[in-house]
């Protein structure tokens, strides 16, 4: 799926990013992950689109402790549960 199509399905894209973050964290809540690693794993190229999704994930409580541009963040326990559930 290309990124343009994924913009039309925001939850699917957010879920793909959350799942990629959970994999980058090796399924461990509280593990720090990088934007670059998650973007690569989620097959994303648009950093601004990623930041929009990351803000949504943070609002849901699924990621935390993010720096200003989501270059580094933590996947929460509820984020891990949501990603695998």
Q: What is the pLDDT of residues 2-48, one digit of tens each?
A: 555 545 577 889 999 999 999 999 999 999 999 999 999 999 999 99
b/e burial code for range 26-63 (CB count within 10 A of at least 16 → b):
eeeeeeebebeebbebbebeeeebbbbbbebbbeeebb
pLDDT at 6: 46
Mean pLDDT, range 65-85, rounded to an integer: 96
Task: Note down the domain range covering 11.
Answer: 3-84
Q: For position 50, which CATH number holds?
A: 1.10.10.10
**Considering the entire predicted model, what is its pTM?**
0.87
Domain count, the chain: 1
Query: What mean pLDDT, rounded, does the chain reach?
Result: 92
């Amino acid at each position: 799926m290309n990124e343009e199509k994924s913009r039309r399905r925001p939850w699917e894209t957010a879920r793909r990013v959350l799942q990629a973050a959970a994999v980058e964290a090796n399924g461990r809540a509280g593990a720090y992950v990088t934007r670059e690693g998650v973007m690569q794993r989620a097959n994303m190229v648009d950093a601004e689109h990623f930041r929009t999704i990351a803000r949504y994930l943070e609002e849901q409580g699924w990621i935390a402790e993010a720096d200003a541009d989501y270059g580094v963040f933590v996947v929460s326990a509820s984020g891990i549960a949501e990603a695998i559930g």
